[in-house]
Amino acid sequence: MSEPFLIVGGDAAGMSAASKARRAAPDREIIVLERGDWVSYGACGLPYYVKGEIESLEDLVAVPPERFIEERDIDLRMGHEGIAIDTDARTVTVRSDEETYEQSYGDLLIATGARALEPPIDGLDLEGVFTLHSMDAGAEIKACVESEDLDRVAVIGGGYVGIEMAEAFDAHGLDVTVFEMLPQVLATFGESVGEAVGDHLREQGVDVRLSTRVERLAGDGAIEAVETDDGTVPVDAALVGAGVVPNAELAEQAGIELGETGAIATDEYGRTNVEDVYAAGDVAEMTHTVTGKPDHVPLALTANRAGRAIGQTVTGTETPVGEIAGTAVVKAFDLAAARTGITDEAEARKAGFDPVSVTINAPSRAHYYPGGDKLELTMVADRETEQVLGASIVGRDGVAKRIDTVATALHEGMTVEEVEYLDLAYAPPFSPTWDPVLTTAKVLNGKLE
Amino acid sequence: MSEPFLIVGGDAAGMSAASKARRAAPDREIIVLERGDWVSYGACGLPYYVKGEIESLEDLVAVPPERFIEERDIDLRMGHEGIAIDTDARTVTVRSDEETYEQSYGDLLIATGARALEPPIDGLDLEGVFTLHSMDAGAEIKACVESEDLDRVAVIGGGYVGIEMAEAFDAHGLDVTVFEMLPQVLATFGESVGEAVGDHLREQGVDVRLSTRVERLAGDGAIEAVETDDGTVPVDAALVGAGVVPNAELAEQAGIELGETGAIATDEYGRTNVEDVYAAGDVAEMTHTVTGKPDHVPLALTANRAGRAIGQTVTGTETPVGEIAGTAVVKAFDLAAARTGITDEAEARKAGFDPVSVTINAPSRAHYYPGGDKLELTMVADRETEQVLGASIVGRDGVAKRIDTVATALHEGMTVEEVEYLDLAYAPPFSPTWDPVLTTAKVLNGKLE
C-alpha cells in the first residue's frame, strides 16, 4: 500500500483535497492535520454571524468533522499542528497537546491558509482589538458587540473584510469609523467602485477616513483610541482588517520555494518545487489568467478548486488547478461591488499592457421597470490586442453575477468587440435590452477604434 | 449625394439603424417608413403596463419621434407603409392616408418585424379576444382588464408572452386559465424549467391546462368560452399568445429570399440575396452560434444590434450583425426562468449532436445566508467535442444574469471542463463558493468522463 496522503490544514483546500482523494481512492490512507477546533468552515460568513444574520457558528460549517471521519473515512486529527517538514525523509513533525511525533507521507499537501496581517503599529495586543481570521475570533467579536458598554468601534483597513465588518457593527447601532491609508476603500476594485462605496458608507452614517495612517492604538489594558496622522479618535473596540499573509513559514523552513508574493510557488497542478509536495488555498500562488503570471488572491473558490484538483492528481488523475481571474464581489450595506481581472489603467500598465478604459453608468433593468438602479461599470482593455483585461461593477441591483460574464471573457481572452457581440439575457425586470456589460464594451470599443 | 438609406419599419431594428447611420454619415438622407403611430418602443414592457407596474404607454418609448426628427434629422414618416419593393428600379411603393408614392433608395433595410401568430381556430375575431403585438393592443387589453365586468380570462399559449400576461391578469384579481397544446409551458426552455414554472403558476392560483388543444373560441359577438379537446371553459376575455410570424410578405413578393424558418435569409452583415437590401430584427434570420445555422429567434437585443450594425455597414464601415445564442429570460410571478443555446437532449440530437445533459439543484447563495433559493439548472453538452451546447436555470434568486455566463461560453465554444474552471464571483450574499453554474458543469463533466 502507498504511503499516506498527508494534508496540513483542514479548511477549504485541505478538506476538498481529502474528500476528492477519498472518492477516487477508497483504500488510500488520508490524514488531515488541523491545529484548530474547526474544519471546513466558511470564514466568509463571519461578518454576517457578527451582524446577527446567521445564528450560530455551526451554521458556517459545510461538513462537520464527524462526517469526514465516519462517512468519508478520513483520519482527521484536530488539535494537531504540522511544525516541520523533512522533505528528504518524507515526514512531517506533528505536535498536539499530548505528543510530538513524525508522520510519514507519500504525498503532502500544504494547505495552511493565511492569517490576518498585523500592521506595524503599537497596541494590537490591547483588549478590544480584533482580527477576523478564525471562527474563535468571530465568536469573540460577536460577544464583544453584544456587550452593553460598546459605543464606538474602529475598522482599520477599508478592504472587503473592513467593509463587511463596518456593516456588521453598524447593524448593532455602533458608531463606526473606517480608517484607510489609501485615498479610497476597496483599492483592488478600482477607483470608481472605491468612490461609490465610500460615499455609500457615509450615507449610512459610517465615518470614513481616507488617506489616513493609523499610528498607534492607545489604551491602558483595553483600547481607548486610534491615533492617526490626522488626529485621535476615541473608540471602545477595533477590528484590524489590513489584509492577509500566507502561512508559508512551515514550507519555507523546509526549503520549499516561495514566489514573489510570499505565498508558495506552484505549477499548474499545484506542485511545489519539491517532489510530491503540493500547496493550495490561501497559502499558495496561482496563475492569473490575464497576466499569465503567478499571483496571490486568497479566496474560497480558488482554495476549494485547487484542493479538489490535487486530491485527483495524487490519486492518479492529473488535474490542473485552474487559473484565477481575481474575481470577487462584496456587499456593502445596500450596494454590491464586483471586480474581475485588472480594474484600472495603472494596474494594467504595471502588468505590461497599453491600457484604455471607460467608466459608464447604465440601468440595471429596463428604464421603465420599477426597482432597478443605476450601475457604474468600468472596463479595461489592451490597446494593441483589444483584449478585455478586467472590469468592475458597483450598484444596488444585479451586480454580483454580471461580473461573471466578464470573468468568463477573461478566461477566454476575448476582445472588447467579442464581448460587445454577446447574446445576453434580456427581459424588462432583469436588464435593459443592451445589458450594461454590453453597453460598456460598446463604449470601450468606440474608444479603441 | 448618394440615394437615401430607406428603412421600412420604425421599431428596434429600424430606428437603431437610422440612428447609427446618422451618426456615421451626418449628410446622408435617412428615411424611415412606419405604418403605425409608435416608433422605438419596448413591446417587452407591455405585460407590465397591463399589470399596472408601468403607468403609461409613453413610458415604454425609448426615444420619442420628435427626437428622431428634430435632433437626429431622420425623415421619419409615421402612418406610411411600404407596400411593394421594386429591386430593379430600387424603389419602394409607399402608402399613407393621403397618398401613394414611389420612394427611391440607395440602401434598403427591411425591418418590418413580426406579428402574433393566429392559430387556425374560429372565434379570433370575437370581442374580448386579444393578441399582444402592438402598443395599441396593449392599451385595449389594459382598458379591458380595468372594466368592471371581467372575471375569467384565458391565456392561449404558455410561451413567455402567455406567462407574463398570466401574471398581469392575475394582478388584477382575475381568474386565469392557461391553455397549452404541449405537455409543458415554456417549451423552448426545456422540460425542467417548464415543470417548475407550471407548478409555480398553479401555486399562484393559475389554472394551467397542458396537452390541451384549443378548438374554438365561442361566443355571440363577444367571447364566452374556450372550447378545447378536453372540455369547455367559460371566459370573459382571451389573450392569444401562440408565437409570432415574421412580416416577410413584403420581401417575399419582391423576390427576396426567405429561409426555412419563414424569416428573411441574411448573411453575416444582414444582407439579403438582393444587392443593397438588408433585413434585421424580428423579420430576419440570424446565425445561431451553437449550430452555425440560420435560426429565427425574434428578440429585442438581436434587433437592436443588427440594426445598428447595418447602419454602420451602409455608411461605409462593414460591421457583422453578430450571432445569436437564443438567450432569454422570463419572469413568472416570483420565479425567473432563463435559457441559452440548446436546452434539451432531443433538440441537441435534432441539431446533429450526441448530447449528454444533467439537471441539478443548487443554492443561489451560501447555505447559511438568508434570502437564497434553490435553483434548478440543466446543462447540455456534446459527448464528442465536450462543448457546452446550452443551459437553463429556474428559481427565485439570481437566475437572469447567471445564464449569461453560459451564453458567453457558447459564443466561445467552451468545453464543459473550461466552464467548470471559471473563476466566478463568490460572497455569501450572492453565491455559494461554487457558483451553481460551476457545480452544474462539474457534475456534467463527471458524466462525460
Res B338 pLDDT > 80: yes
Residue A41's pLDDT band (cuts 50, 70, 90)? confident
The candidate with the shortest Cα–Cα distance to A75, out of A2, A10, A13, is A10
Per-residue pLDDT band at A449 (split at 50, 70, 90): confident
Model confidence at B234, pLDDT cuts 50, 70, 90, reads very high
Our CA-based measurement puts residue A367 at a distance from the nearest CA of chain B, in whole angstroms, of: 8
pLDDT in tens, A168-209: 999 999 999 999 999 999 999 999 999 999 999 999 999 999
Question: Hey, is the C-beta of A167 within 8 angstroms of any chain B C-beta?
Answer: no
Q: Which of B289, B369, B402 sits opposite A45 (nearest CB)?
A: B369
pLDDT at B397 over 90: yes
Q: Cβ separation of B426 and A329 shorter than 8 Å? A: yes
pLDDT at B46 over 70: yes
* pLDDT at residue B1 tops 60: no
Contact criterion met (CB < 8 Å) for A427 and B331: yes
Contact B428 A44 (CB under 8 A): yes
Interface contact A431-B398, CB threshold 8 A: no
Domains located in chain A, CATH noted: 5-47+56-115+245-313 (3.50.50.60), 118-242 (3.50.50.60), 335-448 (3.30.390.30)
- In Å, how far is B396's CA from the nearest CA of chain A? 12
Q: Chain A interface, mutation test: which of B392, B408, B416, most A Cβ atoms within 10 Å?
A: B408
Q: pLDDT tens for residues A159-168? A: 999 999 999 9
Cβ contacts of B435 on chain A, cutoff 8 Å: 301, 401, 404
A446 within 8 A of B444, measured Cβ to Cβ: no
**Is residue A44 flagged as an active site residue?**
yes
CB contact under 8 A, A400 and B431: yes
Q: pLDDT at residue A115 above 60? A: yes
The whole-chain average pLDDT of chain A stands at 96
Chain A residue closest in CA terms to B320: A421
CB atoms within 10 A of CB B448: 15
- Kindly list the residues from chain A whose CB atom is less than 8 angstroms away from the CB atom of residue B343: none
Query: Inter-axis angle of helices A403-412 and B403-412, to 10 degrees?
Result: 20
Q: Which residues 315-334 of A are in CB contact (within 8 Å) with B? A: 320, 322-331
Instruction: Say yes or no for a CB contact (<8 Å) between B427 and A398.
Output: no
Is residue B277 helix, strand or coil?
Answer: strand
User: Across the interface, which of B160, B302, B426 has its CB nearest the CB of A301?
Assistant: B426
Interface contact flag, B400 A301, Cβ < 8 Å? no
B59, B324, B433: residue with CB nearest A423: B324
Residue A148: per-residue pLDDT: 76
Chain B partners of A392 at a C-beta cutoff of 8 Å? none
ipTM comes to 0.96
Percent of chain A with pLDDT over 70: 100
A305 touching chain B per CB within 8 A: yes
CB contact B384 to A (< 8 Å): no
Q: What integer pLDDT is reported at residue A393 of this predicted model?
A: 98
Q: Predicted confidence band at B207 (pLDDT cuts at 50, 70, 90)?
A: very high
Q: In the structure grid, which three cell numbers stand for residue A224, read together?
A: 481607548
Interface of A with B in 18-77 (CB under 8 A): 42, 44-45, 48, 53-54, 59-60, 62
Three cell numbers written together for A105: 507521507
Which pLDDT score, from 0 to 100, does residue B41 have? 84
Judge whether residue B191 has pLDDT over 90. yes
Beta strand A100-104 pairing with A214-220: unpaired
Contact A400 B430 (CB under 8 A): yes
pLDDT of A147 higher than 70: yes
* Predicted confidence band of residue B39 (pLDDT cuts 50, 70, 90): confident
Cβ A423–B320 below 8 Å, yes or no?
A: no
Phi first, then psi: give them for residue B388, nearest 5 degrees: -70, 135
pLDDT tens profile B150-172: 999 999 999 999 999 999 999 99
Do the Cβ atoms of A327 and B425 come within 8 Å? yes
- Inspect the interface and report whether the beta carbons of A328 and B434 lie closer than 8 Å: no
Tell how many helices (H) and how many strands (E) occur in chain B: 12, 25
CB contact under 8 A, B367 and A62: yes
Distance CA A251, CA A264 (A): 8
Mutate to test the interface with A, among B401, B415, B440 (most CBs of A within 10 A): B401
A contact residues 285-304, partner B, Cβ 8 Å cutoff = 289, 299-302, 304
Closest CA to B146 of B126, B173, B164: B173
Using the beta-carbon criterion (under 8 Å), do A400 and B398 form an inter-chain contact? yes
Look at residue B148 and tell me whether its pLDDT is greater than 80.
Answer: no
pLDDT at B203: 98
CB B226 within 8 A of CB B232: yes
pLDDT tens digit sequence for B300-309: 999 999 999 9
Q: Does residue B443 carry a pLDDT above 80?
A: yes
- Confidence at A32, pLDDT banded by 50, 70, 90: very high
Angle between helices A300-313 and A12-24 (to 10 degrees): 30
Give the HSE-up count for residue B372: Cα atoms under 13 Å, Cβ half-sphere.
22
State residue B368's pLDDT score: 93
Of B137, B134, B206, B196, nearest to B169 by C-alpha is B206
Q: How far is A79 from chain B (nearest CA, A)?
A: 26
Shortest Cα distance from A204 to chain B (angstroms)?
Answer: 19
Nearest C-alpha of chain A: how many angstroms from B1? 26
Q: Closest Cα partner for B257 from B235, B279, B238, B240?
A: B279
List of residues 6+ apart from A16 with CB closer than 8 A? A303, A304, A305, A307, A308, A311
Identify the pLDDT of residue B147: 85
Q: What is the pLDDT of residue A1?
A: 52
Q: Which of A75, A65, A8 is nearest to A37 (CA)?
A: A65
**Strand B294-295 and strand B286-287: pairing?**
antiparallel
Confidence of residue A62 (pLDDT cuts 50, 70, 90): confident
DSSP run (H or E) holding B444: helix B436-448
Of the residues A44, A137, A171, A210, which is catalytic? A44
pLDDT at B2: 77
Q: Where are the alpha helices (DSSP H) in B43-176?
A: 46-51, 65-66, 135-146, 160-171
Rounded to the nearest angstrom, the minimum Cα separation between B152 and chain A is: 26
What residue has cell string 482527521?
A76
pLDDT range class, residue B433, cuts 50, 70, 90 = very high
